[in-house]
């Protein structure tokens, strides 16, 4: 019996170089991240069609990675894919808010309880530093920078919880919640109250009082829920 010859794949079907695969993966992740940020910050408004050609030029990408990013954001509820008609930014309704926020509030409460058990002194110090930076941006009324640090604090508490299952479920909702949080903080009165609630969050975390932190985080999110519903109602009234 003649020895088996090594199979050689045609050039078109051979495995791609690892460096090419990594670059493609990074391009995909960056496109998702940049597109998500445009939606969260309100640069792409709810109900608007996604201008694919303009975004491709802005991001320096082809249609393929952009459309892959749109699919990811559609799975997060930020985008609606329209059959043969592109995509548009999804609208947040009162029903969406009532459905999402109690779930997210429960997840954040659990993250707070676990974080108080597992967080290190260094972890608390890092969150404290982020808090003081955020407070400075609040004083200066710099909403974008405030919101960026606000998100980091919530992510650090989640990270300190040390529960991958919790993290995966949380991140499945985080895109829509980030957008909602941003809108809810537009009111100056709500923004001031949110800052005061973050003072309480830091205090409970520093004392490692899991029960108190869980309660504060749950109430913090539900307060934002009510503020957001008021914002949506006001916007709908203006539209009429």
**Same CATH topology for 16-89 and 94-239?**
no
Is the distance from CB of 67 to CB of 29 less than 8 angstroms? no
Fold of the domain spanning 16-89: Arc Repressor Mutant, subunit A (1.10.10)
Q: What is the pLDDT of residue 13?
A: 43
Give φ, ψ of 9 to 5 degrees. Answer: -70, 145
Mind listing the pLDDT tens digit for each residue in 71-107? Answer: 988 887 788 999 878 899 888 788 888 998 999 999 9
Band (38; pLDDT cuts 50, 70, 90): confident
- Domain extent listing, the chain: 16-89, 94-239
Tokens coding 12:
């078109």
More confident residue, 66 or 234: 66
Q: What is the mean pLDDT of the chain?
A: 85
pLDDT at residue number 44: 87
Q: To the nearest whole percent, how much of the chain has pLDDT over 90?
A: 47
CATH class of 94-239: mainly alpha
* CA angle, 226 then 100 then 217, to 5°: 65
pTM more than 0.75: no
**pLDDT value at 181 more than 70:** no
pLDDT at position 12: 44
């Amino acid at each position: 019996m003649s020895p088996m010859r090594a199979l050689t794949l045609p050039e078109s079907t051979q495995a791609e170089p690892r460096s090419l695969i990594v670059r493609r993966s990074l391009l995909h992740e960056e496109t998702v991240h940049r597109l998500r940020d445009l939606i969260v910050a309100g640069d792409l408004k709810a109900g608007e069609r996604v201008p694919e050609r303009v975004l491709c030029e802005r991001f320096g990408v082809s249609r393929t990675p952009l459309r892959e990013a749109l699919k990811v954001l559609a799975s997060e509820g930020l985008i609606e894919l329209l059959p043969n008609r592109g995509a548009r930014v999804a609208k947040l309704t009162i029903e969406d808010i009532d459905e999402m926020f109690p779930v997210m509030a429960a997840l954040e409460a659990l993250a707070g309880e676990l974080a108080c058990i597992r967080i290190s002194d260094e972890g608390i110090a890092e969150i404290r530093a982020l808090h003081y930076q955020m407070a400075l941006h609040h004083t200066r009324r710099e909403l974008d920078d405030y919101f960026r640090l606000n998100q980091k604090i919530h992510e650090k508490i989640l990270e300190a919880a040390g529960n991958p299952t919790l993290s995966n479920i949380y991140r499945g909702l985080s895109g829509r919640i980030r957008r909602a949080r941003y809108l809810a903080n537009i009111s100056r009165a709500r923004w001031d109250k949110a800052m005061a609630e973050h003072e309480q969050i830091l205090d409970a975390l520093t004392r490692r009082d899991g029960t108190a932190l869980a309660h504060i985080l749950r109430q913090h999110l539900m307060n934002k829920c009510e503020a957001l519903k008021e914002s949506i109602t006001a916007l709908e009234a203006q539209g009429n």
